[in-house]
Amino acid sequence: MEYFQQLFEQLFGTEWGAMLYSLATNMVFIYAIIIPVLLGVAYLTFAERKIIAYMQIRVGPNRVTFFGIPWLRGWGQPIADAVKAIMKEIVIPTKANKFLFILAPVLTIMPALAAWAVIPFSPEVVLADINAGLLYILAMTSMGIYGVIIAGWASNSKYAFLGAMRSAAQVVSYELAMGFALVCVLMMSQSLNLGDIVNGQQGGSMLNWYFIPLFPMFLVYVISGVAETNRAPFDVAEGESEIVAGFHVDYSGMAFTVFFLAEYSNMILVATLTALLFLGGWLPPVDMAPFTLIPGFIWLLLKIAFVLFFFLWFRATFPRYRYDQIMRLGWKIFIPLTLIWIVVIGAIMQLPDSIKDVTPLNIWF
Amino acid sequence: MIFQDVIFYIFSAILIASALGVITARNPVYSALLLVLAFVTCAGLWLLLEAEFLAITLVLVYVGAVMVLFLFVVMMLDINLDQLREGFWKWFPFGALIALVMVAEIAMVLMGKHFGLEQMPKPEAQAADYSNTKELGRLIYTEYVYAFELAAVLLLVAMVAAIALTLRQREDKRSPNPSKQVRVKKEDRLRVVAMPSEKKE
């Protein structure tokens, strides 16, 4: 590393060399995050098809393999799907607004990948260790809706526009509940930095993780996360039985795949955030010998996989919500619940230490 | 810092170009999207000033919520552009006045030494672990708590007023009551009757 830094400084001078060197190293780090995320997306689609297939007593994808190895049958499916998507033509409808039609998938995937910048993968491994990490993630995920709205409008189709309208209303309403649930988390950890939030859950065992004192908020966050990513049972934006495929009905080939990538990348992001904020991140469930030997990164991956499994399970289990029921759940149940819980957490934090010490509250506060 | 200067000029150029685009674009949807771009680049400039909380809040509130609704309305409405352009010369003097005031303000900043601006000390650069979120929160809830509460009440009044203006009770409204639906028992819907089967003649 020292060698490359000197090389940059020789080539561009001391001031510019140092700046360009940090730019280059950051680019390398960005790729080191994005490539595993995209691979994770590819194999999440495979996991989804397999898991739902077994839940419905089917086999799922079981043909495409690598080099003819029999026990890898099905594992080549995501790669084959990607190749197929790249080869297909991107059809642009005649009456569509061409510029915005192409821009929409880009605007969807951009925030979905940019939000990964502040995610810590273990105590030291984080690209941007900024103070307002949680706010940054909220800001980035709230920008994802633009791609959906613009796609719906630019396609110049009624179905697409209906899907975009539904999606916009849904995401804006659930963002509030999600934000309030996160306010509870940052009240307990007294920090907006994701690394500090995980470290605040340290203390010996999984009893210290925030999902116990904030259990209603944990549920609200997970359900809002499902709604934010427009996944079943909240997928009225797609609603194939009502409005064909919603906002991406006119998209084909790679343009469609980019929407798909963004949706699954957002799913992994919500699962990662749930693991970090409520399930103790990289902390082992019990601070004892067999558990502490496993590196923290593996624990984080296991927790992410656990939450993602629930996402897939929801899809296989629940029928789609009706639109007015979605709005009712968001505005009339989640937002009052989160508001009350903020007051409860604030009141508990103000209790004198003598009361906290005689009750189990001293584990968390 | 020469590198930060380059970033500043790039962001400023994008900001000015997109702000001009907002008022010159023929398509209102483009105008709204260019306003979003202006907000995002503005947030980038604020990040350069180390105001990360304000920058992220600008993106979160204006880009993430306000402009989504704006875009929504602009897309739904069938806006007649000719009608919009009619009042241009009528409002031109007013706009020119505002532009003049803004030019004067910018001139005062740029030619600060003629207006005694150097008496204001330059704000000190803070360390990397300085959290201006915490600092801002403390100021809002201690020194400026009355102003903050007033702003909150104002927003609440606006919200209540908006709901009160649009709220109407319709007699013929038919909507399902979910709690009623959940509480329904089998006996409410289903009646089991004993019926002798018909005999074959």
What are the pLDDT tens digits along chain A (365 aa)?
A: 677 777 777 777 777 777 788 888 888 989 988 999 999 999 999 999 999 999 999 988 888 888 777 788 888 888 888 888 888 888 888 888 888 888 889 988 998 899 998 888 887 777 777 888 888 888 888 888 888 888 888 888 888 888 888 888 888 888 888 889 988 888 888 888 888 888 888 877 777 888 888 888 999 999 998 888 888 788 877 766 677 777 787 888 888 889 888 889 999 999 999 999 988 888 888 877 777 788 888 888 999 999 999 999 998 888 888 888 888 888 888 999 999 999 988 888 888 877 777 777 777 77
**pTM, 2 dp:** 0.85
Residues in A 135-154 with any Cβ partner in B closer than 8 A: 135-136, 138-139, 142-143, 145-146, 149-150, 153
Residues 6+ apart with CB under 8 A from A131: A192, A193, B52, B129, B130, B131, B132, B133
The predicted complex's ipTM stands at 0.82
B97 touches chain A (CB under 8 A): no
In whole angstroms, what is the distance from residue A23 CA to residue A15 CA?
A: 13
What does the block give as tokens for A101? Answer: 């039609």
Query: How crowded is residue A309: how many other Cβ atoms within 10 Å of its Cβ?
Result: 14
Judged by CB atoms within 8 Å, which residues 91-120 of A form the interface with B? 100
Closest CA to A327 of A335, A338, A316, A319: A335
Q: Does A13 touch chain B (CB under 8 A)?
A: no
Tell me the chain B residues in contact with residue A162 when contact means C-beta distances shorter than 8 Å: none
A363 to each of A89, A352, B139, B152, B168, how far by Cα in Å?
58, 15, 30, 34, 49
Residue B176 with chain A: CB contacts under 8 Å: 324
Q: What angle do CA A67, A72, A77 make, to 5 degrees?
A: 85
B3 at the A interface (CB within 8 A)?
yes
Instruction: Please name the residue that has the structure tokens 């979003």.
Output: B36
Kindly identify which residue of chain A lies nearest to residue B131, measuring between CA atoms.
A131
Contacts B133 to A, Cβ<8 Å: 131-132, 135, 192
